[in-house]
Amino acid sequence: MATILRSYPTLSPESRSIRFEGRDHGSPVSFFLIDTDPGKGSDLHTHPYAETWVLRAGTAEFTIGDEQIVGTAGDIIIAPPNVPHRYINTGTGPLQMVCIHPGDRIVQELV
């Protein structure tokens, strides 16, 4: 049977971003739908798997290990497993991207 989730809750009342964990819905994939303002981003963290970002709108600077990469709408960026990484919206408008986690739950450790 198919599942459809409508109006999925945001991370907090102040956020426009969504966290989806597949295990809660019978899916083997988890993700964040990021919609964040300039100057906002994530803390430095790691995952035991590769994380894939699909940038839909805006500009972000990614720190992946010792590298700094600027991504813009249309780019796909992949961080290897166990490498500390983070992003920050360096643009002038909202950053919208999908952060794909290849597992039925998001496993994240702050660095």
- Give residue-wise pLDDT tens across range 63-87: 999 999 999 999 999 999 999 999 9
Residue 56's CATH number? 2.60.120.10
Query: pTM for the full model?
Result: 0.92
The tally of domains found in the chain comes to: 1
Q: State the residue range of the domain holding 24.
A: 18-110
Residue 11 domain-assigned (yes or no) = no
Higher pLDDT: 61 or 4? It is 61
Residue 34 domain-assigned (yes or no) = yes
Q: Is 43 left (phi over 0), alpha (psi -120 to 50) or beta?
A: beta
The gap from C-alpha 30 to its chain's centroid, in whole angstroms, comes to 10
Cα angle value 78/104/62 (rounded, 5°): 20
The string of pLDDT tens digits covering residues 6-38 is 888 888 877 899 999 999 999 999 999 999 999
The closest of 39, 40, 65, 36 to 51, measured between CA atoms, is 65
In DSSP terms, which residues pair with 95 in a beta bridge? 36
Give the C-alpha separation, 95 to 70, whole Å. 12
Residue 66 domain-assigned (yes or no) = yes
